[in-house]
Homo-oligomer: A and B are copies of this chain.
Amino acid sequence: MIRLIEDSDPSAFEMLKLLYPHSGNAFIIGITGPPGVGKSTLIDALILEFRKLDIKIAVIAVDPTSPISGGAILGDRLRMQRHATDEKVFIRSMASRGQKGGLSRATKDAAIVLDAMGYEIIIIETVGAGQGEFEVATIAHSTGIINIPGTGDGIQTVKAGILETGDVFIVNKSDKPDADELVHHLTRMISMRKPFKTNLAKTNWTARVLKTIARDGTGVKELADTFLSHFDFMKKNSLLDQKRKKIEKSYFTSLLKDLILKKVLLFAETSGEYMEVLNKIQSREMDPLSAAELVVNNICVLKSNN
């Protein structure tokens, strides 16, 4: 099913319609951070902790692999091999097939499948670099952001838009010298966050900062507990329901965009005008902006009567 999703196979769309009503129970955790901070090792250790509580868990590793070769490199997944025989653990890489928005859509689709299958926790691992993080926050109920001491300066951290989207900040490789400095830095930044525009200030979750050493498991139990308590907190304060509605709206809008673009681009490209206009651009008879406007003006949109 996930392979069909990756391939944008039309049957996946039909199957998702049937599965969707059975989804909506899983706790979806986004884990993000730049390359080299130990995301896979940490998730491997997290799986172990959640399994101690007999939680059925799935991991979707979103691989920003080459959009050109289209191949997924599975090196990281090897590190999670030890769970291969545990039937309550599912680990899968999702590779980009070139379309950018597509990977985010496909990840959400895959999460629906796993949710409907009864996985209680679904971890979505992404490389965080600003926009990547924003995407995971539109799918996940809780977002954990991993940093390690001694890479870049404070400014770099803020740049990545880390501050606004994180619920749990993880300082991994915390046996390194500057770990406490990073904890201090993150804590100070969290304290400067603008409160949500709501009167229910009491019901806001204050982001946590935790130290871990993924390699030997230090701090990972606390991390697992923190995610679970964030889930409880959201349930008790009806924040979970709000978040689910937001995720559904953004999913609906992305589906709508995909379907509209598919329909109208197909129309534009087959009308012959597209190629004609592209030739005029490349021979410099026309600029691309006027050309795009011309094509779109010549399309008229109507509400159908049936």
Contacts and interface: CB of A to CB of B under 8 A. Distances in A.
Interface stretch (A124-132, A209-217, A225-233): A124-132
The 10 closest A-B pairs by CB, nearest first: A64-B130, A36-B152, A75-B155, A66-B161, A129-B129, A255-B292, A20-B287, A259-B296, A68-B164, A252-B288
Interface in A249-306: 249, 251-252, 255-261, 263-265, 267-268, 271, 274, 277-278, 281-282, 284, 287-293, 295-304
A219 interface: no
A302 B304 CA distance: 11
Given A155-B75, A303-B299, A281 B248 contact: yes
A65 interface: yes
Given A64-B160, A256-B292, 7 more contacts: A20-B289, A68-B164, A245-B282, A248-B281, A260-B260, A299-B304, A300-B303
A265 B257 contact: yes
Contacts of A75: 153, 155, 158-159
Contacts of A291: 252, 255
Contacts of A135: 100
Interface residues of A, number: 85
Given A259-B296, A301-B301, A302-B299, A287 B21 contact: yes
Given A151-B151, A255-B292, A292-B259, A159 B301 contact: no
A293 B13 CA distance: 10
A34 interface: yes
Interface in A140-177: 151-153, 155-156, 158-161, 163-165
Contact of A132 (B76, B131, B134, B251): B131
A65 B161 contact: yes
A163 to B, nearest CB: 7
Interface of A: 13, 16-17, 20-21, 24, 34-36, 63-69, 73, 75-76, 96, 100-101, 103, 127-132, 134-135, 151-153, 155-156, 158-161, 163-165, 194, 245, 248-249, 251-252, 255-261, 263-265, 267-268, 271, 274, 277-278, 281-282, 284, 287-293, 295-304
Given A164-B68, A303-B271, A293 B96 contact: no
B260 A299 contact: yes
A260 B252 contact: no
B131 A64 contact: yes
A255 B24 CA distance: 36
A282 B244 CA distance: 9
A104 B21 CA distance: 36
A43 to B, nearest CB: 15
A130 B282 contact: no
Nearest to A21: B287
Contacts of A156: 35-36
